[in-house]
Amino acid sequence: MKNKWIKGIRGYVRVRIEGAYPERFLNRCIEHHILIWGIKRVGEERIVCYMELDDIPKIRPLLRVSHCKVSFTERRGVPFFLRKMVNRLGFVTGLTSFLIIMFILSNMVWNIEIKGASPQVEHELRQIVFEMGIKRGTFQFNLPSVEHIQRDVTERVAGATWVGVRQKGTTFEFEVVEQKLPEKAESLSPRHLVAKKKAIIHDIFVEHGQAQVKPNDFVEKGDLLVSGFIGKEGKIRIVPAEATVYGEIWYKSNVTIPLESIFTTLTGEKKTKHYLSFADFDLPIWGFGEHSYQEYETFEQKKPFQLLKWSIPVHYKRIKIQETSKYKRNYSDEEAIQAAQEMALYELNQQLPVNAEVIGEKVLHEAVENGKVKLKIHYQVIEDITSEQPIIQGD
């Protein structure tokens, strides 16, 4: 199989040898190491065989010695194919230009479809995808991956719960699921409101029900805040208690931060390599040479090429190599304490409800041990402390 491919690349011909003794010509060819194959006798003075194109000039002296003459009945291989293409240069140029233009147009964005969105959300989504570079005439391999686009637009479109992204040929399809806030249903179940945490009452606003506490009262978890029983004795009604009760809660945070830390950052220096990828083989097309970075991070992006609506088994592959640098950061004791306080406050805010407010902060314990700063911090937080407790018949 390998020899067949080599012969096809070099080119070969089918030779008809005519003479009184054509075998003498074949013997001379073998003596001069001229490769012949497919030998077949088609008459008493006629033999046909195959011979490589490069050996044709070598047979002239052999023909004179053997008193034979040859004629070429077939021409096969790449050289003859290229000669035909040159003779039909206009047709080949037109066909090649057509395929190149079709290939280029198949790998560009020509349409953006948005489904399931209201006009307001659709306008917002079109602006966001335009900022991301997704617009008509953009090459697809310059765009982020579909997964990256979906994640970004879902986070940035305020009126959408979920945005699905799909690429179909030269079209990007966006399917939007908008946020539908349900109407607040009236609670028909009778209930009390009780404290879900130990706190000091800071403020209370009752819509329905009867308050059982007042500001500055101390409550334990489970204590009754607002009763669902209203009215005077003998005319008591049961209602679903509704109220907002803010209480002062206490939190403690233990945080440790080293005085010496090593960080890795990008220096801004980068090298980008571009490849055409066929299966597991990568053909470099730009960005040759090796980088000189001692420390670096590698980011790879791979996109298939399109031809009309089909993906062809060729990919555009881009590898971005970014230089990194490690540096040592040293804190003074005061800087480390401040950084630890900021870290503790950030972690606290991550676990607090949205409407909570930190009103006080006090460092209870501070120590520097083994190259680390250790803090114990006390926080005063105002937050809603109400929790529902159903009223069971017979209470």
Q: What whole-number distance in Å separates Cα of residue 280 and Cα of residue 38?
A: 37
**Ranges of CATH 3.30.70.260 domains, the chain:** 2-82
CB 375 within 8 A of CB 341: yes
Which uninterrupted H or E stretch holds 193? strand 191-195
Residue 303's pLDDT is: 77
CA-CA-CA-CA torsion for 330, 334, 336, 340, nearest 10 degrees?
Answer: -170
* Res. 275: pLDDT tops 70: yes
CB 20 within 8 A of CB 67: yes
Considering only CA atoms, which of 272, 298, 276 is closest in space to residue 285?
276
3-state secondary structure of 295: coil
Residue 261's pLDDT is: 79
pLDDT in tens, 209-245: 888 999 999 999 999 999 888 877 768 888 888 899 9
Residue 371's pLDDT is: 83
Residue 215's pLDDT is: 92
Q: What whole-number distance in Å separates Cα of residue 286 and Cα of residue 273?
A: 6
CB atoms within 10 A of CB 149: 21
Average pLDDT over residues 194-216: 90
Q: What whole-number distance in Å separates Cα of residue 34 and Cα of residue 297?
A: 56
Residue 393's pLDDT is: 61
Considering only CA atoms, which of 262, 267, 263 is closest in space to residue 323?
267
Q: What whole-number distance in Å separates Cα of residue 188 and Cα of residue 325?
A: 62
Residue 319's pLDDT is: 85
**Alpha-carbon distances of 63 from 16, 20, 56, 77, rounded to whole Å:** 12, 12, 11, 24
pLDDT in tens, 317-338: 888 888 888 878 888 888 888 8
- 22-26, 170-174, 249-253, 258-262: range with lowest mean pLDDT: 258-262
Q: What whole-number distance in Å separates Cα of residue 92 and Cα of residue 282?
A: 28
Residue 201's pLDDT is: 93
Residue 318's pLDDT is: 86
**Amino acid at position 60, single letter:** R
pLDDT in tens, 138-188: 888 788 888 888 888 888 888 788 888 888 878 888 988 887 655 555 555
* Res. 2: pLDDT tops 60: no
CB 129 within 8 A of CB 152: no
Alpha helices in 323-393 (DSSP H): 333-351
* Residue linked to tokens 């805040």: 225
Residue 1's pLDDT is: 45
CB 76 within 8 A of CB 9: no
Round the average pLDDT of the chain to a whole number and report it. 84
Residue 308's pLDDT is: 67
Which uninterrupted H or E stretch holds 177? strand 171-178
Question: Rounded to the nearest 5 degrees, what angle is found at the Cα of 30, between the Cα atoms of 25 and 33?
Answer: 125
* Domain 2-82 superfamily per CATH: ACT domain (3.30.70.260)
Helix axes 2-10, 78-87, angle to 10 degrees: 40
CB 125 within 8 A of CB 117: yes
* pLDDT classification of 106: cutoffs 50, 70, 90: confident
**Ranges of CATH 3.10.20.310 domains, the chain:** 111-178
Q: What whole-number distance in Å separates Cα of residue 196 and Cα of residue 204?
A: 15
Does the domain made of 111-178 have the CATH classification 1.20.1300.10? no
Considering only CA atoms, which of 226, 278, 274 is closest in space to residue 247?
226
CB 274 within 8 A of CB 317: yes
